[in-house]
Amino acid sequence: MTKVYLGLGSNLGNRARNIYVALRRLGDTIQLDQVSSLYETEPVGLVDQPCFLNLVCGGETDLSPEALLRLAKTIEREMGRKEGLRFGPRVVDIDILLYDDLVTDTPRLEIPHPRLHERAFVLVPLNEIAPELVHPRLGASVQQLLHKAASLKRVRLYSVTDAPAND
């Protein structure tokens, strides 16, 4: 079994439900043992779109990295994600952040996630569940990377009382 960390996000429809449905679907195949709180975050890249909800989960799997990517893409597609603008709105997004200490770069898959260390919306929830985890390319802990990250003010803990009617 291999330890993996995945980032989940949604900014269309019932965002919280979308994330928890995807999480449950992942849990059918991956032994999830860590799930962060939900965080509301401003979009990155294409900013003219709704805010995202994000979380990070950790677990163990016997899937290869490629099989894990196929599982993530299948769940996204079956939940209604359409191909569209890069960084655009989406029902659900599932990213492989880390796959044990594997470092790989193929045309379809880069592990660790290439922008993990730049994204507060990933680092904040990852720090909640695994602050001492070391980035295999950078040799720094999640906690250290978080201290260097910009845009922390754009990430806030999400509460059910904050939820609009469609969340």
User: Which range has the worst mean pLDDT, 44-58, 132-146, 150-164?
Assistant: 150-164
Rounded-to-integer distance, Cα 43 and Cα 45, Å: 7
Contact 76, 151 (CB under 8 A): no
Tell me if 97 is assigned to some domain. yes
Is 101's pLDDT higher than 70? Answer: yes
Q: Answer yes or no: is pLDDT of 93 > 80.
A: yes
Domain assignment present for 78: yes
| Dist CA 89 CA 85 (whole Å) | 8
| Structural domains of the chain, count | 1
User: Which is more confident, 86 or 130?
Assistant: 130
Domain enclosing residue 63, as ranges: 2-162
Per-residue pLDDT reduced to its tens digit, 9-66: 999 999 999 999 999 999 999 999 999 999 998 887 777 889 999 999 999 999 999 9
> Is 103 inside any structural domain?
yes
Average pLDDT value for residue range 113-141: 94
Task: Show which residues are catalytic.
Answer: 81, 90, 93, 95
123 lies in some domain? yes
**Domain for residue 155, yes or no?**
yes
- Rounded CA-CA distance 108/137 in Å is 18
DSSP string, 106-151: -SS-EES-TTGGG-HHHHHHHHHH-TTPBPTTT--BHHHHHHH-S-
167 domain residue, yes or no: no
Instruction: Give the CATH number of the domain where residue 36 resides.
Output: 3.30.70.560
Average pLDDT along the chain: 90
As a whole number of angstroms, the distance between CA 39 and CA 36 comes to: 9
